[in-house]
Structure 1
Amino acid sequence: MSKSDFFSHLTAARVHGLPLPFAVERTQTLDVSTEAPALRDRVCGIRGHHVAPKTIAVVEVQGLRVTSAVDTWCQLSTVLGLDDLIRIGDALVRRRHPFAVMGDLLAAVRRYSGHRGVKLLREALIWIRPGVDSPRETDLRLLLVRAGLPEPEVNGVILNRMGVKLATGDLVYRRYRVLLEYDGGQHRTDEEQYHWDIDRLDNLMEDTWRVIRINKSHLRTRPALVIRKVQTALRAAGWQPDPRLARAQKVPD
């Protein structure tokens, strides 16, 4: 690589630590971009790209020159699908140490107008929410909303009637006192975390919250069960679907 080259696309996404689908996460090909007018020579293991001068922000991460996280997201619109772009977008505006705010994503999509993939970016922008902690939270939220359920609050702080914090809930239906918790591996392998979770969930249930725990197996193999559980809990708390807003999506089996 010359001094004017920088990593971009999938390679930049891996350097930034953005969530990628397994199929492309393992690719060995490096994406390298340049603003130089001459076309890059073909090199085995390198996928070359040319970008117009001063249209891409280049930053240094771990000693490597890479496209900025937001520009990387825009570039990936030509190689990834809608849900992958939503997961990455959620990661950009995540709760802890975000790369950007929603205004940055909107501005980037506007700058990207006229490029291949911009329509997909605009659609992804509709679904992206700030404050998410993991791609699985994104997947769960999309599953529920696309099934016609109300949109939950992302990582909402829950207080008891005395104003004491009980939890930061992954997905919260505050009006109906229904909480969805995504149970990641650390909840089982970390003994201290496990015992803390038990006390926390007990406190929530004592405060009349309905807690539904979801794991990756539910999302991967039993999404219809997840939808039914949440729908049942919401209906028990008084929610009724609005027939005017009923969606035609088929609930996955």
Structure 2
Amino acid sequence: MDGPFVGSEALARGALTRHELARWHRRLLPDVYLADSREPSLRDRTVAAWLWSRHRGVIAGVAAAALHGADWVDATIPVELIWNNGRPPAGLVVRNNTLHADEVTTVCGIPVTTKTRTAFDLGRYLERGDAVARLDALKRATAFKADAVLRLADRHPRARGLASLRTALPLVDGGAASPKETWLRLLLVDAGLPRPTTQLAVVESRGKRLRTLDLGWEDYMVGVEYDGDQHRSDRAQYAKDVHVKRTLAAFGWKVTFVIKEDRPDEIVRNVRDALVSRGWRP
């Protein structure tokens, strides 16, 4: 069978025998199975959660964000459902929350919280850093509107986590191209530096784009880049990056390149020094 299915239903219609079910399929959730030959994807686990709820639950949270197109969602994250069930199996988080009809949509044939309701839930239930990273990814995928999310907060005045939501929303930036870029932006803003522009295009005098920086302050010609592991594993990319760094410097840009081994205080000090050297004053 293609994708998750309810075992008892497959047996009832004669699609397979009990022996075939046990021999060739894995149990994802109670009475929900998947072919052994297939490694469960997040989509598989999300569909399985909905099947387990007997088509009554609504997919929410990070799994809903993934269905809306948000990136950087691991296949093993707990799948969240809004449904009335107090004893979910392992791998599921079930919340008995109030949902209005206009807070639910359909994606891939299953009910999912709308992009606005998904943002509302992410901002309430996650720790600030995680919330902003997930909201950045959702914003990048859907361009949800913060004011629409705040209207939901007014609609649900007794909902848990509204203070956390109102803290996270102003920090959201759909320009973040990875969770590490979100982390880096929050580190700098929390340290009192001016809020940077994300995905800042550096263009030379003839209009040729030299580089799109992860973060930057165009007025000061200061930028910040987060270097992942690719520069170590891909020699061609590494050589290209070195050339770009030299070109940026030649055009007067001061760019701090950050790697995962850098200490947060060192990163902040280097970026602050670059801004101050270009005329910024705390």
The two structures share one fold, judged by TM-score above 0.5? yes
**Hey, what's the Cα distance between the residues in 2 that align with 1:146 and 1:30?**
31
**Hey, what's the Cα distance between the residues in 2 that align with 1:148 and 1:41?**
44
Give the letter for the 2:179 counterpart: P
The one of 107, 122, 138 equivalent to 1:60 is 107
Residue 174 of structure 1 is matched in structure 2 by 218
Deviations 1:194-229 (A, max 9, x none): 2221222221111111121002222xxx11111111
CA contact (8 A) 1:93 1:132 kept: no
Residue 241 of structure 2 is matched in structure 1 by 197
CA contact (8 A) 2:70 2:138 kept: no
Residue 247 of structure 1 is matched in structure 2 by none
| Alignment length (residue pairs) | 224
Unpaired runs of at least 5, structure 1:
242-253
- Change in Cα spacing, 1:111 to 1:43, as seen in structure 2 (3 Å) is closer
Deviations 1:4-41 (A, max 9, x none): 32322344346555557x9xx855x543224xxxx436
Residue 228 of structure 1 is matched in structure 2 by 269
The alpha-carbon deviation at position 72 of structure 1 amounts to 2.3
CA contact (8 A) 1:6 1:58 kept: no
Residue 206 of structure 2 is matched in structure 1 by 162
Matches within 5 A, 1:209-224: 209-218=253-262, 222-224=263-265
Give the letter for the 1:175 counterpart: D
- Change in Cα spacing, 1:77 to 1:174, as seen in structure 2 (3 Å) is closer
**Hey, what's the Cα distance between the residues in 1 that align with 2:173 and 2:187?**
14
- Change in Cα spacing, 1:144 to 1:228, as seen in structure 2 (3 Å) is same
The one of 60, 80, 83 equivalent to 1:31 is 80
Structure of greater Rg: 2
Give the letter for the 2:147 counterpart: L
Q: CA RMSD in A?
A: 2.5
Over the matched positions of the two proteins, sequence identity in percent amounts to 31
**Is residue 2:281 matched to residue 1:240?**
yes
Higher RCO (C-alpha 8 Å, min separation 6): 1
**Hey, what's the Cα distance between the residues in 2 that align with 1:85 and 1:56?**
20
Give the letter for the 2:195 counterpart: E
Residue 44 of structure 1 is matched in structure 2 by 89
The one of 131, 138, 143 equivalent to 2:187 is 143
Deviations 1:21-65 (A, max 9, x none): x9xx855x543224xxxx43634334433333415223324x654
Please state whether the residue corresponding to 1:157 is helix, strand or coil: strand
